[in-house]
């Protein structure tokens, strides 16, 4: 039970954003400013003395998962305030000359039922809080005030790290365009444009997000049924996608470990996927790795896809099923080593799935499709992809990681100087 007495009280859902192109956003200057779009856990943070509450995008409490952020808030924010921001974790990957970047997978590991595990992670991979809005200060609510006044209040707080930062912002067209291109190399998710005269409108899409738009050719190796599917009317929910790449034993980046969605406290995205993909392409000499899903089909198209893909379905218990690239997902003898390695398995209950059925229908990996995506998180697509078209002219073995655009290298330490994880 919260004992706070603030002018803005939880639960409060954050203000949201709708997509727009960079050109359209820049044309709105000087009536907007632009900020980096952080790829972390959205957090509305309430402080009343020593009491700190962190609300997720859905309003669920997150302070138990981020004791390090709670302490950072007590040390950096005013005694009575409410701010909107993003919790992030930075990491410098292995390799000479590697630069620090955001790591969403490390952030996801915090949503764990064991307090001992959470506390250990808080010590080993501490998080930072990036603040981009002020909703209350002292006894004054700021929700109805224009953004220009709210960020002016933010500037008075002196949030320069190393654990709590005020986000950068700009009204310079060239700088915004540079940010859009460069910040992706540090794991950020584009830029956001915000009208300067707008009030804070909870749960409304009044901000404008600008994200990268790319395409890739991927291998179709299975599908999941939709939650409304029935035996009488089967409906496809999502297509399971793969790319050929070197296995972990070959010293490459490693197999994707598909998991949760982008919001915390028990949510799950439909891209939660199977564990390791071990089948080898004769031509590519590499494994078919799970990289994400394509979804968002109409009900009619869901029914059509089930029929369209029927000839590719692999029958369980057959030699063909044993030879499927991802046969280990449903084989207990193979699943145990995968689970011990930290790979998520379909049908397994985890902190993300909450009992959700993650079983799938395996398909012969013979079809190639083109999908739209925004950016990668390690070896997988960060968000659900969009189906573009079938590619009958492409050989599945030709669908490798080599085709993916390489972001411009950028060091997160330049944005969050001194933040945990930004230095070796």
For residue 359, count other CB atoms closer than 10 A to its CB.
12
With a CB cutoff of 8 Å and minimum separation 6, the contacts of 398 are 217, 284
Q: For the CA atoms of 60, 62, 63, 65, what is the dihedral angle to 10 degrees?
A: 150
Distance from C-alpha of 121 to C-alpha of 106, rounded to nearest angstrom: 9
Distance from C-alpha of 94 to C-alpha of 186, rounded to nearest angstrom: 15
Strands (E), 37-154: 41-48, 51-55, 80-88, 90-91, 101-102, 128-137, 140-141
Distance from C-alpha of 272 to C-alpha of 329, rounded to nearest angstrom: 13
Annotated catalytic residues are 37
CA 49-50-52 angle, 5° bins: 95
As a whole number of Å, the CA-based R_g of the chain is: 23
Contact 244, 284 (CB under 8 A): yes
Report helix, strand or coil for 207.
strand
Q: Kindly report the length of the chain.
A: 424
């Amino acid at each position: 039970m919260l004992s706070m007495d603030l002018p803005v009280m939880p639960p409060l859902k954050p203000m949201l954003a709708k997509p727009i192109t960079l050109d359209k956003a820049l044309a709105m200057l000087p009536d907007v400013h632009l900020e980096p779009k952080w790829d972390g856990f959205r957090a509305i943070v309430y402080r009343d003395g020593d009491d700190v509450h962190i609300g997720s995008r859905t309003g669920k409490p997150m302070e138990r998962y981020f004791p390090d952020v709670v302490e950072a808030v007590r040390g950096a924010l005013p005694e009575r305030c409410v701010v909107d921001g993003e919790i992030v974790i930075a990491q410098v990957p292995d390799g000479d000359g590697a630069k620090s970047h955001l790591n969403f997978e490390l952030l996801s590991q915090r949503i764990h039922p064991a307090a001992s595990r959470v506390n250990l992670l808080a010590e080993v991979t501490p998080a930072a809080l990036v603040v981009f809005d002020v909703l209350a200060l002292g006894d004054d609510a700021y929700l109805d005030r224009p953004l220009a006044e709210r960020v002016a209040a933010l500037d008075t707080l002196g949030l320069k790290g190393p654990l709590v930062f005020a986000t950068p912002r700009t009204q310079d067209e060239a700088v915004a365009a540079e940010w859009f291109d460069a910040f992706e190399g540090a794991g950020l998710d584009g830029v956001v444009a915000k009208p300067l005269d707008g009030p804070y409108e909870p749960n409304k899409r009044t901000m404008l997000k600008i994200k990268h738009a790319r395409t890739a050719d991927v291998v179709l190796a299975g599908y999941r049924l939709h939650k409304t599917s029935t035996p009488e009317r089967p409906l496809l929910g999502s297509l399971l996608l793969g790319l050929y790449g070197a296995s972990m034993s070959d010293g490459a980046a490693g197999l994707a470990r598909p998991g949760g969605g982008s919001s915390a406290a028990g949510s799950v995205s439909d891209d939660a996927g199977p564990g390791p993909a071990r089948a080898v392409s004769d031509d590519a000499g590499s494994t078919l790795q799970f990289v994400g899903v394509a979804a968002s089909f109409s009900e009619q198209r869901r029914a059509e896809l089930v029929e369209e893909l029927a000839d590719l379905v692999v029958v369980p218990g057959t030699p063909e099923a044993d030879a499927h690239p991802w046969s280990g997902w449903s084989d207990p003898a193979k699943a145990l080593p995968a689970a011990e390695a930290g790979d998520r398995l379909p049908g397994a209950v985890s902190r993300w799935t909450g009992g959700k059925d993650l079983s799938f229908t395996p398909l012969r990996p013979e079809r190639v499709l083109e999908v739209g995506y925004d950016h990668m998180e390690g070896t997988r697509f960060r968000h659900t992809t969009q189906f573009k078209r079938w590619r009958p002219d492409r050989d599945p073995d030709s669908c490798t990681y080599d085709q993916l655009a390489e972001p411009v290298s950028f060091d997160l330490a330049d944005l969050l100087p001194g933040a945990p994880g930004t230095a070796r």
